[in-house]
Amino acid sequence: MAIAVYGAGGIGCYVGGRLAAGGADVTFIGRQRLADELAEHGLRLTDYLGADLVVPAVRYETTPGAAAEADLVLVTVKSAGTATAAGELAGVLKPGAVVISFQNGIRNGELLQERLPDHTVLTGMVPFNVLNRGGGAFHQGTEGGLDVQKDPALQPYEEAFERAGLPLKQHDEILPVQWAKLLLNLNNPVNALSDLPLRDELAQRDYRRCLAAAQSETLDLLKAAGITPAQLTALPAHRMPPVLRLPDFLFKRLASKMLAIDPLARSSMWEDLQAGRQTEIDHLNGEVVRLAESLGREAPVNAKLIALIRTAESGQATAVPAPTLLKLLTSR
C-alpha cells in the first residue's frame, strides 16, 4: 500500500514520517525548500515523551504527479490551499484512492469531496502540536493520536497507523470533533500574539482569560446552532472557560495537565507569522464569525483576534502583553 502526504509541511512531515518509520511506503509531496532540507539532513522526529526517530531515506517530491500511484493520500496543506490541492489531485489520483483531510478548520473535507466526487474523501483531525525545529527536525509537543471519520475504506491502513504510534480513532460524526479541536485552536492567535511558548503563555491568567473569552463566545454560538462539541480533553468543552479564568495558583493545581506541555511547543500560527506566511485565521476564528453571521449574531472577541492577526501578518508583529491583549479583546 502506497501512502502520499500532500502538502508535507510540519504536520505532514511528522505524520508521514511516523508512518515511514513504522515501515509504510510513504511519498512526501510539498515545497522545494523542504525537499532540499530533507535531502541534506534526513527526517528526525521527536516527541514530548522522549521518542527520537530518524528516517534517513525520505522520498520527497514537488509535483502533483507523485501522488499518482498512492492508495491513500493524506492532505495536510494549509486550509487556504485546499481548493488548489483538490484540483491538482483530481488530475492524477488513480481510481479507488482514499483521501483523508488532516487539516485545521471545518470545511476542508467537504471541499475536497466536492472536487473529488469519484473518490472516498474522509475528514480527519490532528489534535497535537508539531513544531518545525529546522534541519529536518519535527517535534510533537502535546499529546494525542489521530481522529477521523469512520469508514470501511480505512480498514487496510489501520495497522500502519498503529505501528506508527498514531492509531486512528474513528468517529461516526466528525463535525463535533472538528468544533472541539477548533475551540482548542482558538488559542493559536493568542499564542502567536504573546510570542511565548504555549506553556509560558498558558501560565499567565490574562492570556488564559483571552482564550476563555473566545471560547465562551463560540460555545454560546454552537449552543444556538444545536452543535455539541466532542470531549477531547479531560474537561468537557463547556467547563474549560471557567477553569481558564481561575487565578494562577488554582489553575496550576487543578489543571496541571494543561501546563504539562513540552517547553518547545508553540502554535502553528506563531510559526507562520515568524516565517512571514499567511496564517489560517480565516479558517479558525473566521469560522466562528461565519457561524455568528449565519445566526444573525456577532462574535466580537473572535473578530478582534482576526483583526490583530491581520495586522501582524502585515509585518507589524510585536509581542502583546497579556493585560493589553485582554483589554483589546474585551473592551466595547
Q: What CATH number corresponds to the domain at position 183?
A: 1.10.1040.10
Instruction: Show which of 137, 171, 205 is a domain's final residue.
Output: 171
Within this chain, do residues 283 and 154 fall inside the same structural domain, yes or no?
no
Within this chain, do residues 260 and 277 fall inside the same structural domain, yes or no?
yes
Per-residue confidence (pLDDT) for residue 255, from 0 to 100: 78
Q: Which domain holds residue 280?
A: 177-330
User: At which residue does the C-alpha cell 505501528 appear?
Assistant: 163
Within this chain, do residues 308 and 325 fall inside the same structural domain, yes or no?
yes
Question: How many percent of the chain have pLDDT more than 70?
Answer: 98
Within this chain, do residues 82 and 98 fall inside the same structural domain, yes or no?
yes
Predicted confidence band of residue 122 (pLDDT cuts 50, 70, 90): very high
Within this chain, do residues 152 and 219 fall inside the same structural domain, yes or no?
no
Instruction: Show which of 117, 145, 171 is a domain's final residue.
Output: 171
Q: Is the pLDDT score of 145 beyond 90?
A: no
* Helices vs. strands in the chain: H and E counts, helices first: 16, 12
Within this chain, do residues 297 and 227 fall inside the same structural domain, yes or no?
yes
Mean pLDDT of 32-49: 93
Asked whether the CA dihedral 111, 115, 117, 121 is positive or negative, the reply is negative
Mean pLDDT of 63-69: 97
Predicted confidence band of residue 253 (pLDDT cuts 50, 70, 90): confident
Q: Is the pLDDT score of 316 beyond 90?
A: no
Domain count, the chain: 2
What does residue 158 show for φ and ψ, rounded to 5 degrees? Answer: -60, -40
Within this chain, do residues 112 and 154 fall inside the same structural domain, yes or no?
yes
Question: What is the per-residue pLDDT across 184-228, written as a single tens digit (0 to 9) for each?
Answer: 999 999 999 999 999 899 999 999 999 999 999 999 999 999 999
Residue 320 is given by DSSP the state P
Q: Is the pLDDT score of 155 beyond 80?
A: yes
| Window from 72-76, 305-309, 313-317, 321-325 with minimum mean pLDDT | 313-317
Mean pLDDT across the chain? 93
Position 193, amino acid: L
The three cell numbers locating residue 305: 483576534
Contacts of residue 123, Cβ cutoff 8 Å, sequence gap at least 6 = 100, 101, 108, 109, 110, 148, 149, 174, 178
Asked whether the CA dihedral 25, 172, 111, 291 is positive or negative, the reply is negative
The three cell numbers locating residue 282: 480565516
Within this chain, do residues 200 and 164 fall inside the same structural domain, yes or no?
no
Here the CATH number for the domain that contains residue 48 is: 3.40.50.720
Paired strand residues for 176: none
Predicted confidence band of residue 259 (pLDDT cuts 50, 70, 90): low
Within this chain, do residues 182 and 167 fall inside the same structural domain, yes or no?
no
Residue 26 is given by DSSP the state E
Q: Is the pLDDT score of 318 beyond 90?
A: no
pTM: 0.87
